[in-house]
Chain A
Amino acid sequence: MLWVPRNGAREKHVERVAGVVHDPRASHFWDEHGAFIEPYAEMLSLTGPCAGIFMLFEPGVRWEAVSPPPPDYYEDAHAVEFDREGPQFDADRFARIAEGMLAG
């Protein structure tokens, strides 16, 4: 779970809402310097103030370069709202894609 400094967000906001994702398998990070959000904003053409990007990476994908790797699949919770390129987030569809990846 990568909390990013978009839409006026600051670190204090992370403390307030991180409990929304309480699955013990989840790790939480705060992208204080934009090391993730800025490259992905350019890579995925994230117009508008919000993030809301859900990305899946296949086994074998590694982050070796300065910029993080492009996702193998992603959906955007604000695709329609900000007329972005990616598919609008659909929980059921995203779950099916993830299950397909996990099944190999």
Chain B
Amino acid sequence: MARKLELGSAFGGAAAAATSMAASLCCVGPLALTLLGVNGMILAAGIKPYRGYLLGASLVLLGLAFWVTYRRRRGVREGDACQLPSGRVAKGRVTRIILWASAALWIGALILNLVSDRLYASVGAVPDDMVTPDYVSLDVRGEPLKSAFNADADKVRLLMLVAPT
């Protein structure tokens, strides 16, 4: 039972760290474009609307993990064995390290989310309230892109094929 609680605490902390990182992924702006490339930037932009939910979920997981780890255990009753199995203390320390590291990561993610809009504006990136540009669905023959492509036949054309995921 104790081992299950330790594993639960470690898992909760790790899960909190993962969701915190996901929430921050969208917020590094131009740095993300440099490190992740265009497709990575698109992925980050896709996560952006859910960053509040991700931060909230990670906070819940983190809180649960801390509660499981630090809650007052029931007192030892007469006849109970007091000596812990070997290695239990070391595992408990590892769990606490993971938890506190996850907490630090969550705080970093929160700060990054709070300043991300300002960072975006300072480098001329897309603001949150920008209207999504109109797009047109092509038919089976590739129209209307085919006609648009030929209409600009006297120009250099740049065509980017990108998956929005």
Chain A contacts to B: CB under 8 angstroms = 1-9, 11, 13-22, 26-33, 35-37, 40, 49-64, 68, 71, 77-78, 89, 98, 101-102
Beta-carbon nearest neighbor of A49 in chain B: B163
Verify if B76 is at the interface (C-beta below 8 Å from A). no
> Are A18 and B135 in contact (CB-based, < 8 A)?
yes
Given the complex, which residues of A lie within 8 Å of B149, measured CB to CB? Answer: 57, 62-63, 68
Verify if B153 is at the interface (C-beta below 8 Å from A). yes
How distant is the Cα of A98 from the Cα of B160 in the complex, in angstroms? 13
> Are A101 and B37 in contact (CB-based, < 8 A)?
no
Verify if B81 is at the interface (C-beta below 8 Å from A). no
> Are B162 and A1 in contact (CB-based, < 8 A)?
yes
How distant is the Cα of A78 from the Cα of B42 in the complex, in angstroms? 14
Verify if B132 is at the interface (C-beta below 8 Å from A). yes
Known: A31-B161, A35-B139, A77-B39. 18 other contacts (CB 8 A): A1-B162, A2-B162, A22-B130, A27-B148, A28-B135, A32-B138, A50-B39, A54-B158, A55-B160, A55-B161, A56-B156, A56-B158, A58-B156, A60-B153, A62-B149, A68-B142, A78-B39, A89-B37
How distant is the Cα of A89 from the Cα of B126 in the complex, in angstroms? 23
The distance from the CB of A101 to the nearest CB of chain B, in whole angstroms, is 5
Instruction: Name the one of B139, B154, B164 contacting A17, with C-beta atoms under 8 angstroms.
Output: B164
> Are A55 and B158 in contact (CB-based, < 8 A)?
yes
What is the size, in residues, of chain B's interface with A at 8 Å between Cβ atoms? Answer: 41
Beta-carbon nearest neighbor of A24 in chain B: B133
> Are B163 and A11 in contact (CB-based, < 8 A)?
no
How distant is the Cα of A64 from the Cα of B141 in the complex, in angstroms? 11
Interface string of B28-60 (1 = CB under 8 A from A): 000000000111011001100100000000000
Verify if B83 is at the interface (C-beta below 8 Å from A). no
> Are A7 and B156 in contact (CB-based, < 8 A)?
no
Verify if B73 is at the interface (C-beta below 8 Å from A). no
Q: Describe A's contact surface by its main secondary structure.
A: loop
Q: Which of B38, B135, B146 has the most CB of A within 10 A?
A: B135
> Are A62 and B164 in contact (CB-based, < 8 A)?
no
> Are A52 and B138 in contact (CB-based, < 8 A)?
no
Beta-carbon nearest neighbor of B43 in chain A: A17
> Are A7 and B153 in contact (CB-based, < 8 A)?
no
Verify if B145 is at the interface (C-beta below 8 Å from A). yes
Given the complex, which residues of B lie within 8 Å of A31, measured CB to CB? Answer: 138, 142, 161
